[in-house]
Amino acid sequence: MTVTETPAVLPLTRRTWFVRLLQALVIVSFVGGWELLGRAGVLDPFFYSRPSLFVLRIAEWFSEGIAERSIWNDMRVTLMETILGFTIGTLLGVGIGYAFARNRLLGQAFDPLFSMFNAIPRLVLAPVFILAFGIDLASKVALGVTLVFFIVFFATFTAVRDVDQTLVDNVRILGARRRDVTFQVLLPAAFSAILASLRTSAGFAFAGAVVAEYIGSNVGLGRRIARAAAAPRASPRRRPRAAPRSRPPRPRSRLRSPRGRP
Amino acid sequence: MAGGEVAAVTLRGVSKTYRPPQKRPYLAITDIDLDIPTGRFVSVVGPSGCGKSTLLSLVSGLLPPTTGEVTLNGTPVREVRTDLGFIFQRDALLPWRTVRENVALPLRFRGRSDRARVEEWITRVGLAPFADNYPHELSGGMRKRAQLAQSLVADPAVLLMDEPFSALDVQTRNLMENELLTLWGASGKTVLFITHDLEEAIALSDEIVVMTAGPGRIKARYTVDLPRPRNVTEIRFSPAFATIYEHAWNDLRDEVERSYQRSLQRS
Q: Does residue A90 contact residue A213 with C-beta atoms inside 8 Å? A: no
Of B86, B96, B110, the CB nearest to A170: B86
**Cβ <8 Å between B85 and A164:** no
**Helix axes A51-62 and A71-102, enclosed angle (nearest 10):** 90
Handedness of CA A73, A77, A82, A83 (dihedral sign): positive
Closest CA to B123 of B152, B93, B82, B97: B152
Interface of A with B in 162-191 (CB under 8 A): 164, 166-167, 169-177, 180, 184-185, 188
**Cβ <8 Å between A188 and B94:** yes
Write out chain A residues lying below 8 Å of B84, CB-based: 173
Write out chain B residues lying below 8 Å of A185, CB-based: 94
- Give A73→chain B minimum CA distance, Å: 44
Paired strand residues for B211? B218
CA B9 vs CA B58, B100, B267: distances in Å: 11, 31, 37
The reply to whether ipTM tops 0.95 is no
* Chain B interface test: which of A104, A174, A178, A184 (most B C-beta within 10 Å): A174
**Cβ <8 Å between A175 and B84:** no
Handedness of CA B9, B14, B19, B23 (dihedral sign): positive
Q: How is chain B split among helix, strand and coil, in percent rounded to 5?
A: 40, 25, 40
Element (H, E) at A47: helix A45-48
Closest CA to B66 of B30, B111, B102: B30
From the number of C-beta atoms within 10 Å of its C-beta (0-12, 13-18, 19+), residue B108 rates as middle
**Cβ <8 Å between A166 and B62:** no
**pLDDT 10s digits, A27-74:** 999 999 999 998 888 888 777 888 888 888 888 888 888 888 889 999
Of A166, A167, A176, the CB nearest to B109: A176
Least confident of A194-203, A240-249, B92-101: A240-249
Please give the full DSSP string across A119-151, using - where no structure is assigned: HS-GGGGHHHHHHHH-SSHHHHHHHHHHHHHHH
B129 preceded by a cis bond (ω within 30 of 0): no
Predicted confidence (pLDDT) at residue A230 exceeds the cutoff of 90: no
**Cβ <8 Å between B154 and A167:** no
Contacts with A74 (C-beta within 8 Å, 6 or more apart), sequence order: A219, A220, A221, A223, A224
Q: How many CB atoms lie within 10 A of CB B116?
A: 7
**pLDDT 10s digits, B95-143:** 999 999 999 999 999 998 899 999 999 999 999 999 999 999 999 999 9
What is d(CA B93, CA B143) in angstroms, rounded to the nearest whole number?
8
Give the side-chain half-sphere CA count within 13 A for B261. 7
**Cβ <8 Å between A166 and B88:** yes
What is d(CA A50, CA A133) in angstroms, rounded to the nearest whole number?
39
- Give B106→chain A minimum CA distance, Å: 5
**pLDDT 10s digits, B62-90:** 999 999 999 999 999 999 999 999 999 99
**Cβ <8 Å between B88 and A169:** yes
Of B85, B91, B94, the CB nearest to A185: B94
Q: Does residue B218 contact residue B46 with C-beta atoms inside 8 Å? A: no
What is d(CA B59, CA B34) in angstroms, rounded to the nearest whole number?
11
Of A166, A175, A184, the CB nearest to B92: A166
* Chain A interface test: which of B63, B89, B105, B118 (most A C-beta within 10 Å): B105
**pLDDT 10s digits, B148-203:** 999 999 999 999 999 999 989 999 999 999 999 999 987 889 999 999 999 999 99
B83 → chain A, closest CA residue: A173
Least confident of A223-227, A258-262, B121-125: A258-262
Please give the full DSSP string across B171-240, using - where no structure is assigned: HHHHHHHHHHHHHHTTT--EEEEEES-HHHHHHH-SEEEEEPSSSB-EEEEEE----SS--TTTGGGSHH
Please state the separation of Cα B128 from the chain's center in Å: 25
From the number of C-beta atoms within 10 Å of its C-beta (0-12, 13-18, 19+), residue B97 rates as middle
A181 → chain B, closest CA residue: B109
What is d(CA A200, CA A151) in angstroms, rounded to the nearest whole number?
8
What is d(CA B197, CA A99) in angstroms, rounded to the nearest whole number?
42
Write out chain A residues lying below 8 Å of B82, CB-based: 172-175
Least confident of A110-119, A235-244, B218-227: A235-244
Of A167, A176, A184, the CB nearest to B92: A167
**Cβ <8 Å between B80 and A180:** no
- Give A117→chain B minimum CA distance, Å: 26
Q: Does residue A93 contact residue A152 with C-beta atoms inside 8 Å? A: yes
Q: Does residue B157 contact residue B126 with C-beta atoms inside 8 Å? A: no
Write out chain B residues lying below 8 Å of A167, CB-based: 92, 94
pLDDT at A251: 52
- Average pLDDT on B50-54 reads 88
